[in-house]
Structure 1
Amino acid sequence: MSAPLTHGVHHVGLAVSNLEGSADFFTRVLGWQEVKRREDYPAIFVSDGCIMVTLWATEEGASPFDRRKNVGLHHLALHMQRRAELTVIHQRLVDNGIRIEFAPTELNGGPAMHMMCYDPSGIRIEFYWTGIES
Structure 2
Amino acid sequence: MTEPSTRGVHHVGLAVPDLDAAERFFVDALGWRVDGGVPSYPAVFVSDGAILVTLWRIADPEAAVPFDRRANVGLHHLALKVADRAALAAAYDRVRGHPGTTIEFAPGPMRKGSETHHFIGTMPGGVRLEFATA
Could you say what secondary structure the match of 1:66 adopts?
Answer: coil
Partner in structure 2 of residue 20 of structure 1: 20
Partner in structure 2 of residue 88 of structure 1: 90
After superposition, residues 110-129 of structure 1 pair within 5 angstroms as 110-129=114-133
Q: Which structure 1 segments of 5+ residues have no match?
A: none
Deviating more after overlay: 109-118 vs 93-102 = 93-102
Could you say what secondary structure the match of 2:26 adopts?
Answer: helix
Could you say what secondary structure the match of 1:126 adopts?
Answer: strand
Partner in structure 2 of residue 62 of structure 1: 64
Could you say what secondary structure the match of 1:92 adopts?
Answer: helix
Partner in structure 2 of residue 106 of structure 1: 109
Percent of pairs identical after alignment? 48
Give distance in 2, aligned partners of 1:48 and 1:56.
18
Give distance in 2, aligned partners of 1:21 and 1:71.
25
Structure 1 ranges of 4+ moved more than 6 A = none
Shift of residue 94 of structure 1? 2.6
> Structure 1-normalised TM-score?
0.92
Shift of residue 120 of structure 1? 0.3
User: What is the aligned residue count?
Assistant: 130
Give distance in 2, aligned partners of 1:117 and 1:107.
14
Give distance in 2, aligned partners of 1:23 and 1:75.
18
> Structure 2-normalised TM-score?
0.92
Could you say what secondary structure the match of 2:27 adopts?
Answer: helix
Q: Which structure 2 segments of 5+ residues have no match?
A: none
Could you say what secondary structure the match of 1:87 adopts?
Answer: helix
Give distance in 2, aligned partners of 1:35 and 1:17.
20
Task: Give the CA RMSD over aligned residues.
Answer: 1.1
Give distance in 1, aligned partners of 2:110 and 2:67.
25
Query: What are the superposed Cα offsets for residues 44-79 of structure 1, whole Å, 9 maximum, x if unpaired?
Result: 100000000000000222211111111000000001
